[in-house]
Amino acid sequence: MKKKIILAVVSAASVLTLAACSSSSSQEIATMKGGKITVEDFYEEAKSQSTSQQIVQNMVIYKVFEEAYGDDVTDKEIQEKYDETADQYGDTFEDTLKTNGLTETSFKAQIKQSLAFEAGLRSHVEVTDDDLKTAWESFHPEVEAQIITTASEEDATAALTEITGGADFGDVAKEVSTDTTTKDDGGTIKFDSQDTDTVPADVQAAAFALEDGAVSEVITVTGQYANTFYLVKMVKNQAKGNSMDPYKDDLTEIATQTQMNDSTFVTSVIQEELKKANVKIKDSAFDEALSQYLTTDSSTAETSSSAATETTEESTEASTEASTVESTEASTTETTTAE
């Protein structure tokens, strides 16, 4: 899911960039009998669209953060995110880039912007002892388990019957599991309490409650379009104990991510960075594009928090994950005001 977000930003922003940054506003986009459409015509039309406000907001925020924190992003990090997305798309990756008006260079430029945004948020994080204690409450260290996923409850129940009847969990996983990532290895997987992208929270909770060698009942995970049914066998569980010290690095990262996903925190960071960069809107058509960040009016706080939530979700995704390969308008709405 997150792999799709990051591919949308450049294609969305490029619509306005074409009009605003063309070397010649009289350049012809199309001609027909009795008339023509120029870049200037396109810009005048585009800037009146509500989505253009969102695109400008998105472009300014990313530009500011890239200028301030781009040097903190390494080529290695960019390449890792690029390769990760390429692996997720497989053979369709190059076609997907072309469909979204992207090249390897422009896509990597977008990855850098997203990572710079994340770096900017991270630089403002301050983790307290109370934050660590809060992270500790829901923390569970990494476990080794086996999973089976099926598309129907009947298939999951049948698999459970086989296993309780003496069949090897790994053999059943290879035969019936729909999880292509793990089935060839007998469903083997490792995860901790933060790996919700790997294993759903309901499956985690059931797994953490199992003793070594125990198998769960059928676990139903509700999806947007269909349910998925899980079986879990615990291979090696481990209690976290009573001391946070061995896990302090993990807890610090959990607390950091918690702050970076908080809309109020994100709003305050964006406001601070825009102020520091002395951002000013010069085209009156876009006076409202950054109003929730450039004003101190408390009445805008709710709007700011909502916009910041969308910004955080996309950043986290590209950070990875990245921000959808859908329509320009839809993607712009999601990526404006961010893995």
The pLDDT tens digits for 154-201 are: 999 999 999 999 999 999 999 999 999 999 999 999 999 988 778 999
d(CA 334, CA 325): 11
For residue 23, what pLDDT is reported?
Answer: 53
Query: Average model confidence (pLDDT) for the chain?
Result: 84
**Residue that is written with structure tokens 């977008």 in the block:** 110
Domain assignment of residue 241, yes or no: no
Select from 171, 201, 236 the last residue of a domain. 236
Residues 119 and 206 in one domain: no
Confidence tier at 333 by pLDDT (50, 70, 90) = very low
Residues 23 and 119 in one domain: yes
Q: What is the β-pairing status of strands 143-150 and 228-236? A: antiparallel
User: Strands, E, within 193-321: which ranges?
Assistant: 219-221, 228-236
Enclosing domain of residue 6: 2-126+250-335
Confidence tier at 51 by pLDDT (50, 70, 90) = confident
Total structural domains in the chain? 2
Segment 35-51 mean pLDDT: 87
Distance of alpha carbon 180 from its chain centroid, rounded?
Answer: 22
Domain assignment of residue 173, yes or no: yes
Residues 72 and 179 in one domain: no
Beta carbons within 10 angstroms of residue 127's beta carbon: 16
Residues 72 and 188 in one domain: no
Regarding pTM above 0.85, the answer is: no
Confidence tier at 20 by pLDDT (50, 70, 90) = low
Domain assignment of residue 91, yes or no: yes
